Amino acid sequence: MTSTSAAATSEFNMNNLFYSITPDTARQILDEIADDLGKDVHVRQRMGQASPSIWPGLNNLWKTIDAENSSCRDLIASLAKFTRNLVAAVPENQTKALHVSQSAGSGFPANLV
């Protein structure tokens, strides 16, 4: 993990992602962390088990993204990559993601899990 991404990961809070930064910055952070998640199963395990939990915030992001807004396409792609990499080869994360995708009104794409 690069020093930049390590800092981003340690300070990353899904619940505050849209409220404190621009969509372009959110996309960049998601892409950077997704790259780290894709390279290291231990990072995926730690993030999936972290406290506070990432799962409610991830669900909120999927709910709040406007899929019909063409300016959100890059952000949606980054969030999908992040989600895919978070659950890769970590059964516990896959189970948690499935629960998120089944929550009432979730915008979380169940086909990613």
User: pTM of the full predicted structure?
Assistant: 0.76
| Alpha-carbon gap, residue 34 to 85, rounded angstroms | 6
Q: Is the pLDDT of residue 8 over 60?
A: no
pLDDT above 70 covers what percent of the chain? Answer: 73
Q: CA–CA distance from 72 to each of 22, 86, 96 (Å)?
A: 11, 21, 25
pLDDT band at 50 (very low <50, low <70, confident <90, very high): very high
The Cβ-side half-sphere exposure at 56, using a 13 Å CA radius, reads 6
pLDDT of 108 reads 58
What is the token pair recorded at 62? 């999927």
Q: Report domain extents, the chain.
A: 3-112
In degrees rounded to 5, what are phi and psi of residue 86? -65, -35
